[in-house]
C-alpha cells in the first residue's frame, strides 16, 4: 500500500514487523483528518490531553455511526452491556470502583502481589517443559499459557475451559479489525461469540454465588453493588483483556532481549533490572499500539492547530506518542534505566489500564526466568510472523533455539 496515506500504510499488514518509521512520519502532522472523517492523533502532548479531556467519550453509544462491531440497530441479541472501560463518568467511576475494591489496593492490597510465588511456580513448570528440546515457540509454549493460567486462577475459571473462551475472545477482538471481512459478517461473528461467552460466564457466576471461594469472580458475584449485566461485562473484560495483551507484552520482551544480547546477559545477572526493562518495553514496543475505536468527540476540540469537530471518531496512536522526541530523549534507543518514563503503554486518564499491576509482575518474572534458564538462546526467524490486528501487536509465533535448559 505504498500509495496510501501514512496511517493506511500503518494498517497494512506488510508493515506490521516495524511500523516505527511510519509513526515518525505520522508525527509530522500531530492531528490529521482521515478520508472517512475520523482523526488520528500521534504526538505525546496531544494524546495525553485527549486522554484526560471529558469531551472525548469512550462510550460507543455516543457515536452516530458506531465503529465498534455490535448488533445491528433493532437486532435482538444477548450482547453484553459495555464494560466500564467503555463508559463515561459517573457509570465508569462507580463500576471501576467496585471492581478495584476486590482486585487491588487499598481494599485488596495483596491480591496481585500475593500471586507472585504461584506465578513463579507456573513459569518454572513451563520452562521445565522445554527439557529435552532444542527449540520452542515462546508464544504457544510460554507467553500464552502463563497469563491464561494466572487469570483463570485469579478469577476462579477452570483452566481447561481455555479451549472455549480463547476462541470467543479471538473472535470478539478480530471483529473490530476491518481487514478481517465485511462489517455485517464481523458483526454476526461477534454477536455469536459474545452470546456464547455470556452464557458461559453466567453459569460460572451462578456457581460462584452459590459456593463462593477466595477468587475474584466470587467476590464480584456476591457484591450487591455490582449489577448482574455489568458483572458479566466486567468478568468478560478481565478474562479476555487479562491475557490477550500480556501474551504480546511477554513475546515482545523476549524478542527484544534476543535482539539485544547484552541486555539478556545483564538481566541474567541483575534480576533487579527487570522492573525498568519492562517499563521501557511498554514505551518502546507496547502490545497496544493505538486506541482505535470507541473514542468519540462530544464537542468541538481545538488542538495542535486543528479543530476536531463534534461527532468525530478519534484514534490515539499510543506507540507513536511514546516515541515522540519532543517528550523523550533519544526515543528510538532502548534504555531500561530511563529515569523519566511516563510512557503511554497502559493508556492514561480515567481509563488507565485496570490490569497494569498484574501485567507488569507477570512479565518481570517471565523475562527474568527465561534469561536465567535458556542456555544460548537465539531467534529462528527475525522478524517473526506477526498477528493480523494492527493495534494489538505481537508475534503470532516466536521460535527460539537453545542449547539447554538450566536448573530452576
DSSP 103: H
Instruction: Please give the pLDDT value at position 16.
Output: 97
Write out the three cell numbers for 101: 475494591
Give the model confidence (pLDDT) of 242-253 as tens digits: 788 999 999 999
Q: In this structure, is residue 1 part of a structural domain?
A: no
Instruction: Please give the pLDDT value at position 188.
Output: 87
pTM value?
A: 0.93
The cell 450482547 sits on which residue? 79
Report the range of poorest mean pLDDT among 2-11, 152-161, 280-289.
2-11
Q: How far is CA 340 from the centre of its chain?
A: 23
Distance separating alpha carbons of residues 232 and 339, to the nearest angstrom? 40
Strand partners, 306: 303
Instruction: Please give the pLDDT value at position 171.
Output: 87
Distance separating alpha carbons of residues 286 and 344, to the nearest angstrom? 9
pLDDT at 342 over 50: yes
Q: What is the mean pLDDT of residues 75-92?
A: 78
Distance separating alpha carbons of residues 103 and 44, to the nearest angstrom? 30
Q: What backbone torsions phi and psi does residue 313 show, to the nearest 5 degrees?
A: -100, 140
Give the model confidence (pLDDT) of 113-160 as tens digits: 999 999 999 999 999 999 999 999 999 999 999 999 999 999 999 999
SS3 95: helix
Can you spell out the DSSP letters for 350-393?
GG--TTHHHHHHHHHHHHHHHHHHEES-EESSSSPPB-S-SSB-
Residues 6+ apart with CB under 8 A from 200: 161, 164, 165, 168
pLDDT at 320 over 80: yes
pLDDT at 65 over 70: no
DSSP 313: B
Q: In this structure, is residue 90 part of a structural domain?
A: yes
**Domain containing residue 278:** 6-405
Instruction: Please give the pLDDT value at position 120.
Output: 98
Residue 36's CATH number: 1.10.630.10
- To 5 degrees, how large is the angle CA 295–CA 23–CA 325? 100
pLDDT at 66 over 70: no
Give the model confidence (pLDDT) of 163-221 as tens digits: 888 888 888 887 777 666 787 888 888 888 888 999 999 999 999 999 999 999 999 99
Q: What is the chain's length?
A: 408
Contact yes or no for 135/147 (Cβ under 8 A): no
Write out the three cell numbers for 349: 486518564
Q: Who has greater pLDDT, 162 or 368?
A: 368
The cell 514505551 sits on which residue? 283
Q: In this structure, is residue 103 part of a structural domain?
A: yes
Q: Who has greater pLDDT, 3 or 312?
A: 312
Q: In this structure, is residue 364 part of a structural domain?
A: yes
Distance separating alpha carbons of residues 337 and 191, to the nearest angstrom? 45
pLDDT at 314 over 50: yes
Q: In this structure, is residue 67 part of a structural domain?
A: yes
Q: What is the mean pLDDT of residues 227-247?
A: 91
Instruction: Please give the pLDDT value at position 72.
Output: 35
Contact yes or no for 366/250 (Cβ under 8 A): yes
Report the range of poorest mean pLDDT among 81-85, 103-107, 112-116, 125-129.
103-107
Contact yes or no for 310/298 (Cβ under 8 A): yes
Q: In this structure, is residue 309 part of a structural domain?
A: yes
Instruction: Please give the pLDDT value at position 79.
Output: 64
Closest to 387 in 3D by CA, of 19, 17, 68: 17
Instruction: Please give the pLDDT value at position 1.
Output: 43
Distance separating alpha carbons of residues 277 and 283, to the nearest angstrom? 10
Instruction: Please give the pLDDT value at position 216.
Output: 95
Residue 75 pLDDT class (50, 70, 90 cuts): very low
Q: In this structure, is residue 388 part of a structural domain?
A: yes
How many domains does the chain contain in total? Answer: 1
Q: In this structure, is residue 109 part of a structural domain?
A: yes
- Across the chain, what does the average pLDDT equal? 92
Amino acid at each position: 500500500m505504498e500509495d496510501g496515506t501514512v496511517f493506511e500504510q500503518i494498517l497494512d499488514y506488510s508493515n506490521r514487523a516495524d511500523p516505527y518509521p511510519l509513526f515518525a512520519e505520522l508525527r509530522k502532522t500531530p492531528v490529521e483528518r482521515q478520508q472517512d472523517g475520523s482523526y488520528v492523533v500521534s504526538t505525546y502532548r496531544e494524546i495525553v490531553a485527549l486522554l484526560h479531556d471529558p469531551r472525548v467519550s469512550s462510550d460507543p453509544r455516543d457515536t452516530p455511526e458506531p465503529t465498534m462491531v455490535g448488533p445491528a440497530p433493532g437486532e435482538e441479541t444477548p450482547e453484553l452491556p459495555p464494560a466500564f472501560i467503555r463508559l463515561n463518568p459517573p457509570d465508569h467511576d462507580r463500576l471501576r470502583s467496585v471492581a478495584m475494591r476486590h482486585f487491588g489496593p487499598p481494599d485488596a492490597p495483596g491480591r496481585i502481589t500475593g500471586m507472585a510465588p504461584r506465578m513463579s511456580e507456573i513459569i518454572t513448570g513451563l520452562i521445565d517443559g522445554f527439557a529435552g528440546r532444542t527449540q520452542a515457540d515462546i508464544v504457544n509454549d510460554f507467553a500464552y499459557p502463563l497469563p491464561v493460567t494466572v487469570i483463570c486462577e485469579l478469577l476462579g475459571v477452570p483452566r481447561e475451559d481455555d479451549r472455549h473462551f480463547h476462541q470467543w475472545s479471538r473472535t470478539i477482538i478480530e471483529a473490530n479489525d476491518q481487514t478481517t471481512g465485511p462489517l455485517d459478517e464481523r458483526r454476526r461473528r461477534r454477536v455469536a461469540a459474545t452470546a456464547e461467552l455470556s452464557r458461559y460466564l453466567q453459569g460460572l457466576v451462578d456457581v460462584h454465588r452459590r459456593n463462593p471461594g477466595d477468587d475474584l469472580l466470587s467476590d464480584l458475584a456476591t457484591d450487591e453493588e455490582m449489577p448482574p449485566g455489568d458483572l458479566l461485562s466486567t468478568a468478560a473484560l478481565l478474562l479476555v483483556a487479562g491475557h490477550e495483551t500480556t501474551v504480546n507484552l511477554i513475546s515482545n520482551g523476549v524478542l527484544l532481549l534476543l535482539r539485544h544480547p547484552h541486555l539478556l546477559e545483564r538481566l541474567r545477572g541483575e534480576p533487579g533490572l527487570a522492573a525498568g526493562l519492562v517499563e521501557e518495553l511498554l514505551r518502546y514496543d507496547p502490545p497496544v499500539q493505538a486506541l482505535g475505536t470507541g473514542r468519540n468527540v462530544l464537542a468541538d476540540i481545538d488542538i495542535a492547530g486543528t479543530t476536531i469537530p463534534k461527532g468525530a471518531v478519534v484514534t490515539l496512536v499510543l506507540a507513536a506518542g511514546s516515541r515522540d522526541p519532543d517528550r523523550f530523549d533519544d526515543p528510538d534507543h532502548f534504555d531500561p534505566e530511563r529515569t523519566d518514563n511516563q510512557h503511554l503503554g497502559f493508556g492514561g486518564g480515567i481509563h488507565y489500564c485496570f490490569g497494569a499491576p498484574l501485567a507488569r509482575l507477570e512479565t518481570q518474572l517471565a523475562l527474568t526466568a527465561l534469561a536465567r534458564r535458556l542456555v544460548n538462546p537465539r531467534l529462528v526467524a527475525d522478524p517473526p510472523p506477526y498477528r493480523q490486528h494492527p493495534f494489538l501487536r505481537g508475534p503470532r509465533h516466536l521460535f527460539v533455539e537453545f542449547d539447554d535448559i538450566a536448573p530452576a
